[in-house]
Chains A and B, each alone.
Chain A
């Protein structure tokens, strides 16, 4: 990036600077003996052109909207349109969540994001014994198409984009969404949204798996194939580092393990006979925005460049859209404290700012009371307003990649890319992500333990936990899920089973069982099944009979 002569002269003056620096530090020692990022990357006192002497602007940064997309995926980024402000929401019954959705849309939110309860995520109906105590707790309970119709009542599906955090049964929930849209008169090609559909990180870090890896990957590639033909604007997967980070990984591990999972999906789809450029443009990603501000910004930039290089060089993708890493970001839930919870508003704001400076396509900001309960209407509003302040008031969205070219940011971006690549090589050697689940789990667990011990030793400061503790007022109006939700949901389910055409349900499930043991694409069968009001639990049980269930290896 710099002329040789100039660089030489900078080297000379830098040497002089370092001498002065040493003298200064000798006289007055620094706050701590060394500085490192969350990933353990050593942070220098100062970054200069020396640190990015090998950077080639066109090769390594390029222009936004062009390969390797280090500076962003669109030519003008937020000058055209701000990121999508998308708050993850869902609790209780479909009626309650529908009301929260309408409230958020009225407040200026621009996309929906559905949280499902755990029985739904694991493919159990609300009346299943394992669903006891869990119905409607961490998200909305969806048992059948009937609930899905209620969830989106009065919300025109051709006007909003909807993200659904659903993985193992993603195909079935997508089938329900397509069926609801059809009832609204909206054809599948008009639908916009995302299903998370990322099973590998469920095995690694999040835990809502049902089936073993083989059939799970097949469901995913069925979705890729179906959507590329019928639901062309749908993001068929959101390859997620978020939960890997929440489970305790570092920023480098988050990038590495997420992209390693991405590689596995692309390979699986190619192995299933798909053309890379037919499905790759619809892959999307989901990252965490944690507290270590500059490392997070560099992480987003490094992830974009690394993915572009992987898609172009490793998989030979030709379509520029296949090279683009588009991503959603959520601020770090694990950085929130139960103590002095209002401080969480600041933490979240800085994390959100890092995501915007890193070029996110959509953003969820956590609410300050989330270390205590599900967010209340009031706290979720402040979280949304935080994004609006960033977008509308402080000017950071007015130019593209404002930190690009910073010696520090560029140097960190390089280091994160390098270290993530080393991990990806290691995972390749282990046979790819599906074979490296336990390896990744162990790495994450070790990082989580180190993080906790750093807090306990005081090496890492957490306000309210190990420094500046004080008595504080607990937030009132914490959201409490009505305990009668389970009964209401179970009663609805019972009524549905009496009312529907059970002969037809039996038939669609028989058809599904037969198709599941062949290589036929299952999406059309799921659509038939949900339209007949077969329940999610019934459909998943049918698949369990054919596919079996995943058994976790305990890594600790």
Chain B
């Protein structure tokens, strides 16, 4: 097992400026020993994909509160796939109606964390999922 810290890109797609959640998560992940890059506001899916590849992250965390998630989240996953980076774990959070969650998961978002989620739960999820993916990767080699 590699001891390399998990690298995470925390990104704000869309036009909304509510980045309290994104910043709190970014800091919690960093305090949990991960390497975290935060994109800042108003990122297009294309910019997020590019940053994820450039920063060589294993995880992309998307945060949005504007209601544009159905357009923007799947676009990030598609962009990553198009670049052959479908091994990157994509998770999301924000104000996301329940009925949208199955559709987002179908589109390749691994999990949606709604309001009130403890940061510890997100940290655990990321660790477990990354470990699974790393094992799979090592199995293939």
B112 to chain A minimum Cβ distance, whole angstroms, is 12
Q: How distant is A141 from chain B, measured CB to nearest CB, in Å?
A: 12
B27–A337 touching, CB < 8 Å: no
Using A207-B18, A337-B115 as known contacts, say yes or no to A445 and B23 having CB atoms under 8 A apart: yes
Inter-chain contact B120/A372, CB cutoff 8 Å: no
**Cβ 8 A contact of A248, one of B16, B20, B38, B118:** B20
Question: Which residues 82-141 of B sit at the A interface, judged by CB distance below 8 A?
Answer: 95, 97-98, 114-116, 118-120
**Interface assignment of B61: CB less than 8 Å from any CB of chain A:** no
**From B16, B18, B23, contact of A556 by CB (8 A):** B23
**Contact between B71 and A449, CB atoms less than 8 A apart:** no
CB under 8 Å from chain B, chain A span 60-111:
none
Residues of B1-50 whose CB lies within 8 A of A = 14-20, 23-24, 26-28, 38-42, 44
Kindly provide the distance from the CB of A284 to the nearest chain B CB, expressed in whole angstroms. 22
**Per-position 1/0 for A229-269, Cβ under 8 A of B:** 00000000000000000111000000000000000000000
Contact B20 A247, beta carbon cutoff 8 Å: yes
Residues in A neighbouring B15, C-beta threshold 8 A: 118-119, 121-122, 130-131, 134, 208
**By the criterion CB–CB under 8 Å, are A371 and B115 in contact?**
yes
Complex CA distance for A245 and B23, rounded to whole angstroms: 15
Tell me which residues across on chain A come within 8 A of B23, comparing CB atoms. 445, 448-449, 556
Among A208, A449, A456, A465, chain B packs the most CB atoms within 10 A around the CB of A449
Fill in one digit per residue for B52-66: 1 if any A CB lies within 8 Å of its CB, else 0: 000000000000001
Nearest chain B residue, comparing its CB with the CB of A137: B67
Contact check, B17 vs A133: say whether CB atoms are below 8 A apart: no
Contact B17 A206 (CB under 8 A): yes
Closest A residue to B45 using CB positions:
A132
* Residue in A137, A246, A337, A373 whose CB lies within 8 Å of B68: A137
Q: How far is the CA of A465 from the CA of B121 in the complex (A)?
A: 13
Shortest Cβ distance from residue A344 to the other chain B in the assembled complex, whole angstroms? 11
Query: Are the CB atoms of A337 and B116 closer together than 8 Å?
Result: yes
Q: How far is the CB of B78 from chain A (nearest CB, A)?
A: 14
Q: Which B residues lie within 8 Å of A474 (CB)?
A: 98
Contact of A339 among B19, B38, B116 (CB under 8 A): B116
What DSSP secondary structure best describes chain B's contact surface? loop
Once the chains are docked, how many angstroms separate the CA of A248 from the CA of B20?
7
Asked if A371 and B17 sit within 8 Å, CB to CB, the answer is: no
Residues of B within 8 A of A246 (CB): 18, 20
A455 proximity list for chain B (CB < 8 A): 118
Q: Is the CB of A456 within 8 A of B120?
A: yes
Q: A337-B115, A337-B116, A372-B95 are in contact. Are A207 and B38 (CB under 8 A)?
A: no
The distance in angstroms between the C-alpha atoms of A373 and B67, with both chains bound, is 9
Contact A465 B68 (CB under 8 A): no
Interface bracket on A:
35 or more
Give chain B residues whose Cβ lies under 8 Å from the Cβ of A132.
68, 71
Residues of B within 8 A of A137 (CB): 66-68
A373 touches B95 (CB 8 A): yes
* B17 surroundings in chain A (CB, below 8 A): 202, 205-208
Residue in B19, B42, B68 whose Cβ sees the most chain A Cβ within 10 Å? B19
Residues of B within 8 A of A122 (CB): 15, 42
Nearest-neighbour CB distance to chain A for B13, whole angstroms, equals 9
Query: Is A554 touching B98 in the complex (CB atoms < 8 A)?
Result: no
Are A338 and B24 also in contact (CB < 8 A) when A133-B14, A133-B68 are?
no
Across the interface, which residues of B come within 8 angstroms of A291, CB to CB?
none
- With beta carbons under 8 angstroms apart, the residue of A248, A371, A462, A552 that contacts B41 is A552
Which A residues are within 8 Å of any B CB, using their own CB? 118-119, 121-122, 130-134, 137-138, 202, 205-208, 246-248, 334, 337-339, 371-374, 445, 448-449, 452, 455-456, 462, 464-465, 474, 478, 480-481, 552, 554, 556
**Residues of B that sit less than 8 Å from A by CB:** 14-20, 23-24, 26-28, 38-42, 44, 66-72, 95, 97-98, 114-116, 118-120
24 A-B pairs whose Cβ atoms sit less than 8 Å apart in the complex: A118-B15, A130-B15, A133-B68, A137-B66, A202-B17, A207-B16, A207-B19, A207-B41, A246-B18, A246-B20, A247-B18, A247-B19, A334-B20, A372-B95, A372-B97, A374-B67, A449-B23, A452-B28, A456-B120, A462-B116, A478-B97, A481-B67, A552-B41, A554-B40
